[in-house]
Structure 1
Amino acid sequence: MFGTELHTPDYQLLGNEIALIETSRGTIRVKLDSDGAPIHVANFCELATMGFYDGLKFHRYVPGFVIQGGCPHTRDMSPEAVAAGEPGVDGMPGTGGPGWNIKAEYMTNPRNLHNDGALAMARSMAPDSAGSQFYFCLGAQHNLDANYTVFGQTEDGFEVIQSLRAGDVIERVQIIQA
């Protein structure tokens, strides 16, 4: 699902990063937690500033649980094909990443709480296997607290998150300073 190399992001955090995630359903404003999850935040910011997320689709929707995106295999797929769970030319949606992994921070982040609107990184079974795929919690999911790194909390756009479905487009992710 993800790359194999353990990556240290080059992105320099200022500590007040905000992600504006523009989707086909509206914009979500997320306060990123650079103190609690600095590797995850720097990785997400690095990918966002590279344009990695632009044009990808959300590929996984589980009602009352999560909406997930960030798989590069969805880039050249139609929203309908992603929603139908069809394979893309690069592989199945949900199996791609940036070509590297990052170190897990869920054991060290004092604010690692999967509250409603939490932004966290997906990973495979291996703890240090997150790369680019992220999810938003659709309601509190505290059963995930001990296994997945939360790196942000939604400040605005909860209604957008609730409206997202598989196939919806991540038009652009912009990183700004609060």
Structure 2
Amino acid sequence: MRNFAAMLAVTLLATATLSAANPVVVDMKTSMGPIQIEMYPDKAPETVKNFVNYANQGFYDGTIFHRVIDGFMIQGGGFTPNMQEKETGAMIQNESTNGLKNDKYTIAMARTPNPHSATSQFFINTGTDNGFLNRASARDGWGYCVFGKVTKGTEIVDAIGKVATGNVGPHGDVPRTPVIIEKVTIAQ
């Protein structure tokens, strides 16, 4: 009963947060410094709701940026510092028809080749020309759903994008020193 009450409170808080004025502001504290992101529930309502739910549950706290490709993107939200993948909730529908583009410093959902497979993982674009990730240009006709943009801490994003990487088991482009997402909070 206590777990149900906690889940209900999280859901009500997420709903109240999404009902607030657009955009939704996210504070992401990382081991390399703070990043602030604004999300657009008017453009990607299910994606923003999904991210807010994970954040409010504390899911992202203690995860890492597990894939970093200089000049392209930094990806996080699914692995612990010892590269253990976290169990996630249900997959969400791809909202890449929203008109938002994979421009530098935008945040988008990571997914498998299935266009509707995004769960918790996201990436921040660091490349100046990631247009091939947009729906109109994507080989699969779907692309990757952008749902927000970094508004403060772009220098932190740039620094993360420059860390030394290597292989850990089957995973490539893993930072040699973990870049930890210490805390993600919804500011409004």
TM-score (normalised: structure 1): 0.79
Aligned equivalents of 1:62, 1:134: Cα separation in 2: 14
Amino acid of the residue matched to residue 117 of structure 2? S
In the alignment, what sits opposite 1:106? 96
Of residues 13-22 and 126-135 in structure 1, the stretch that sits farther from structure 2 once superposed is 13-22
Tell me the CA shift for residue 49 of structure 1: 0.6
Question: 1:138 and 2:115 equivalent?
Answer: no
Root-mean-square deviation (Å): 1.7
| Identity percentage of aligned residues | 35
Tell me the CA shift for residue 76 of structure 1: 5.5
For residue 46 of structure 1, give the secondary structure of its aligned residue in structure 2. Answer: helix
Aligned equivalents of 1:117, 1:16: Cα separation in 2: 16
Q: What does 1:117-132 correspond to in 2, within 5 Å?
A: 117-132=105-120
Q: In 2, are the aligned partners of 1:119 and 1:152 still within 8 Å (CA)?
A: yes
Query: Where does structure 1 differ by over 4 angstroms across 4 or more consecutive aligned residues?
Result: none
In the alignment, what sits opposite 1:172? 183
Aligned equivalents of 1:76, 1:20: Cα separation in 2: 20
For residue 29 of structure 1, give the secondary structure of its aligned residue in structure 2. Answer: strand
In the alignment, what sits opposite 2:73? 66
Query: Whose helix fraction is larger, Structure 1's or Structure 2's?
Result: 2
Question: 1:53 and 2:91 equivalent?
Answer: no
Question: 1:75 and 2:80 equivalent?
Answer: yes
For residue 96 of structure 2, give the secondary structure of its aligned residue in structure 1. Answer: coil
Aligned equivalents of 1:118, 1:97: Cα separation in 2: 25
Q: Deviations over 1:145-165 (max 9, x none)?
A: 110000101111101001114
Aligned equivalents of 2:80, 2:55: Cα separation in 1: 14
TM-score (normalised: structure 2): 0.75
Aligned equivalents of 2:71, 2:80: Cα separation in 1: 26
Go from structure 1 to structure 2 and tell me whether the alpha carbon gap of 1:61 and 1:48 turns closer, same or farther (over 3 Å shift): same
Tell me the CA shift for residue 45 of structure 1: 0.6
Q: Deviations over 1:84-126 (max 9, x none)?
A: xxxx4xxxx5xx551310011002x12x211110000000111
In the alignment, what sits opposite 2:149? 153
Q: In 2, are the aligned partners of 1:97 and 1:132 still within 8 Å (CA)?
A: no
Question: 1:163 and 2:159 equivalent?
Answer: yes
Q: Would you say how many aligned residue pairs link Structure 1 and Structure 2?
A: 150
Which is greater in Rg? 2
Q: What does 1:19-58 correspond to in 2, within 5 Å?
A: 19-58=26-65
Q: Which runs of 5+ in 1 are unaligned?
A: 1-8, 83-87
Q: Which runs of 5+ in 2 are unaligned?
A: 1-9, 136-142, 164-174
